[in-house]
Amino acid sequence: MSLAPEIWSNTRVRSTPFTSRIEAYGVGAYSVYNHMLLPLKFVSVEDDYWHLKEHVQLWDVSVQRQVEISGPDAARLVQLMTPRDLTKSRVGRCYYAPLVDARGGLINDPVILKLAEDRFWLSISDSDVALWAKGLAHGFGLSVEIFEPTVDPLAVQGPKAEQLMERVFGSAIADIKFFGFSHVDFGGHDFLVARTGWSKQGGFEIYVDRPDLAGSLWDALYEAGRDLEVRPGCPNLIERIEGGLISYGGDATIDDSPLQCRLEQYCHLDAEIDFVGREALRAERDHGVTRAISGLLIDAPSIPSVRDRWTVSIDGESVGDLRSAVRSPRYGRGVGLAMLDRDAWDIGTAVTVESPTGPIPATVASVPFTDPE
């Protein structure tokens, strides 16, 4: 899973307003995401996992950059970018939405925050969505402004997240609904807070638009949470695979459609809306999806690092590829996400995973992974 080489940050791979805090604590591993540092480990992936499921963590997810789209044609452009029907969307709500190109390929899977009828933030995964939006806007001659504001999200995740947030921001936190957002005061500034986050343990994301207050906000949460065993955390490889959260760029790319990513509930292909890729997605639906992201339970006590996709086969014939996997301490074996052909995707199907250390037997499982019996 880990490489010996160092990683460097420079002005191209940016640090965040929280970098000094997590480096003082002792971050264990970094990745790069949207041209910025993303922590991936603190104590160990497994220790971080158990802690996340029991306590509360502060996550530096500044890498979730915002693409702000505003102006008279903003709602039209945002709708053009996603098959999710946003015609009844409301200000103050968040919408998970696949973005697709003309061929129906996935460009990104942001959470869209509707700030006003004519102003949106797309809280993006790892691709330069602003360039896609600018290209469309210019080509169609739309009246919009598109830019990346200075917003560095701080996630507070885990079962004690609400308790911690209330201590710092007051009881109004409890009123924020799942995938809703509101504003809270800290240091005399209104911060946008949403009940969202890239874990299944519950929690919030604070959209920090004042880098000068980021350190004191972090410290306030840290101090208020000492008896809750708060500590720095990050998106956790085990927890997110068990929860079936796909990682854009790894589990899915522009060569995969949202239907193949099992995001059909966010694809309103018959709605009276105009979006790029509608014909392609309708054709795929009508012909029948031929492959899809599926869960795998992998029968090995430890799992090598998945650096490249591994072929998945039945009787020596390829039926797809594994894109992420890790040892699950709950199962005592591997859990993984694979893109599997229709012939192979039924739950319970026996397959073989061609790992770099040799073939491993595996079984197709439902995602999110359920607790082992």
Residues that bind its own copies (CB under 8 A): 1-15, 19, 23, 27-32, 35, 39-41, 101-102, 107, 126-141, 247-251, 254, 276, 305-309, 323-324
DSSP-derived letter for residue 42 is S
Which lies closer to its own copies via its Cβ, residue 53 or residue 309? Answer: 309
Closest distance to its own copies from the beta carbon of 75 (Å) = 17
CB of 16 to its own copies, least distance (A): 10
CA distance 297 to 349: 10
Q: At closest approach, how far in Å is the CB of 256 from its own copies?
A: 12
Query: Would you say 15 or 182 has its CB closer to its own copies?
Result: 15
Residue 63 CB, shortest distance to its own copies, in Å, is 11
Taking the least distance from each CB to its own copies, the nearer of 122 and 192 is: 122
Residues in contact with 305: Cβ distance below 8 Å, sequence separation at least 6, in sequence order: 1, 2
Dihedral sign for Cα atoms in the order 135, 138, 143, 144: positive
220 or 273, CB closer to its own copies? 273
Of 270, 254, 250, 246, the closest CA to residue 101 belongs to 254
CA angle 184, 187, 189 (to 5 degrees): 50
CB of 314 to its own copies, least distance (A): 22
Q: Which is nearer to its own copies, 161 or 335 (CB)?
A: 335
| DSSP three-state, residue 317 | strand
223 neighbors 311 (Cβ within 8 angstroms): no
Is-contact 87 273, C-beta < 8 A? yes
* Closest to its own copies by CB, 161 or 238: 238
Q: Least distance in Å: CB of 29 to its own copies? A: 4
**CB of residue 15 to its own copies, shortest distance in Å:** 5
User: Whole-angstrom Cα distance, residue 181 to residue 277?
Assistant: 30
Closer of 1 and 289 to its own copies (Cβ): 1
| Distance of alpha carbon 9 from alpha carbon 226, whole angstroms | 30
Q: Are 220 and 168 in contact (CB under 8 A)?
A: yes
Strands 231-233 and 57-60: parallel
**Position 89, amino acid:** S
How many other C-beta atoms can be found within 10 angstroms of the C-beta atom of residue 115?
18
Name the minimum Å distance from CB 88 to its own copies. 26
- Let me know how long the chain is: 373
CA atoms within 13 A on the CB side of 28: 15
Query: Which residues, including other chains, have CB under 8 Å from residue 209's CB and lie 6 or more apart?
Result: 149, 150, 151, 152, 191, 192
Asked if 155 and 169 count as a contact pair (C-beta separation under 8 A), the reply is no
User: Closest CB to its own copies among 131 and 283?
Assistant: 131
Query: Shortest approach of its own copies to residue 151 CB, angstroms?
Result: 16
Q: 2 vs 87, which CB is nearer to its own copies?
A: 2
Triad 197, 201, 324: Cα angle to 5°? 75
Nearer to its own copies, 4 or 357 (CB): 4
Minimal distance, residue 319 CB to its own copies, in Å: 18
| C-beta separation of 284 from 345 below 8 A | no
